[in-house]
Structure 1
Amino acid sequence: MEPLKMHTGLVYPLNRSNVDTDQIIPKQFLKRISRQGFGQYLFYNWRFDEKDRPREDFSLNDPKYKGTSILVGGENFGCGSSREHAPWALEDYGFRIIIAPSFADIFYNNCTKNGILPVVLTEDEVQTLIDNAEKGDYHLTVDLENKAVTDNHSFKATFDLAEYSRQMLLNGWDEISVTLTYEDKITEFEKEHIVY
């Protein structure tokens, strides 16, 4: 994974609560065997009509959000089934950070394991970000080292993240990478305890 220390990006507001994983990536697209390629199906039933044409009434299709990399959503984001494909789709589309008042636990953990930073802010803070982003051309800077979110104006908020998850994201590690940081100790143990 790519390390994430500080990220500045265009904000996309998804002013909906209880966005579940089937809305993020519908079940009919779960047949792929690699992590890549899911971004084209992100929010598919909202983004496209029954003839696969982009819907004009869904804001992510608005050109003003082209290149967005920070999503701000409502409470209980990522609820529903525990499919890891949901963060895969968000990451493949280009989102590196998701900000919401609350997340479903499994989705939250799947994000940190797949290079996406889930940020929990208060409902009032999230609503401020949504209101600003709905006007378009709104950027945020998320500083993971200092656990802070700021804009070019007066907005500033801090957030918490478990140190283990924080280190994984800062270093671009997945769980195999974390294990490999102990490679010398593993090799030493094998020499002492394993008979070939």
Structure 2
Amino acid sequence: MTEPLVIAGIAAPLPINNLDTDQIMPKQFLLGIDKSGLARGLLHDLRFDADGQARDRFVLNRPEYRGAKILLGGANFGCGSSREHAVWGLQQAGFDAVIAPSYGEIFYFNASNNRLLLVSLPAEQIEAIAAEIEDSRDKRLTIDVGNEVVIGPSGRRHAFALPARQKQMLVVGLDMVGMTLRQEDAIDTFEACHRAAMPWCRIDLSTAVCIDKPR
């Protein structure tokens, strides 16, 4: 991705507080050895009844929200277990962003590392956006990442703040490892200076202990 980064698409309201990763991606869909095929498991027990029939009233089963790219969630979205499959499933189902008041900490960093945009807005603003979408024929939202603003169907704007590192990861398309490797020259310089200043202290990276210290 390159600047300016804008995510626009249908937004589906799912105002459930404490929606955990077990609900986002149930355990029976964690049996594969790769990331594929997770879209079918996304929110499975909310989307389908015990007989496997689609629940017509569930938001993602409603025709007007088909193909949604943005999810409007409740507080503490993604709490529970650390399964990264919850993030992968959201992305495979077509979601590029989630807007919620707050997030489970591990889910937040899993999402950042996979470049799934998480926007934090106050609950009352999200409720207002959801009401506007429900009442409008236009179900689309626009998230201007560069300017850190969510724009509703009527043009109403909602400002949000995105940590600089997460914003850069989204814009340049890198995960945490990739971001760290961009500092490779600085890391090499630090290691060389450290060895020169304290040659008696050589770090064995396999054990992380100091060896060859003079006696």
TM-score by length of 2: 0.80
Q: How far apart in 2 are the matches of 1:116 and 1:90?
A: 9
Q: Within 5 Å, which residues of 2 pair with 1:167-186?
A: 167-182=168-183
Residue 64 (structure 1) aligns with? 64
Listed as ranges, the gaps of 5+ residues in structure 2 are: 196-215
Q: Within 5 Å, which residues of 2 pair with 1:47-196?
A: 47-135=47-135, 137-182=138-183
Report the residue type matching 1:174 in the other structure.
D
Q: How far apart in 2 are the matches of 1:35 and 1:162?
A: 27
* Identical columns (%): 42
Number of aligned positions between the proteins: 192
Call closer, same or farther: CA 1:177–1:67 in 2, change over 3 Å.
Answer: same
1:136-162 deviation digits (Å, cap 9, x = unpaired): 531111011111111242421111121
Report the residue type matching 1:101 in the other structure.
P
Listed as ranges, the gaps of 5+ residues in structure 1 are: none
Residue 204 (structure 2) aligns with? none
Higher Rg of the two aligned structures: 2
* 1:111 counterpart SS class: helix
* 2:128 counterpart SS class: helix
Report the residue type matching 1:128 in the other structure.
A
Matched, 1:27 2:36: no
Does the CA-based 8 Å contact 1:3-1:173 persist in structure 2? Answer: no
Greater relative contact order (Cα 8 A, min sep 6): structure 1 or 2? 1
Superposition RMSD in Å: 2.3
TM-score by length of 1: 0.88
Residue 199 (structure 2) aligns with? none
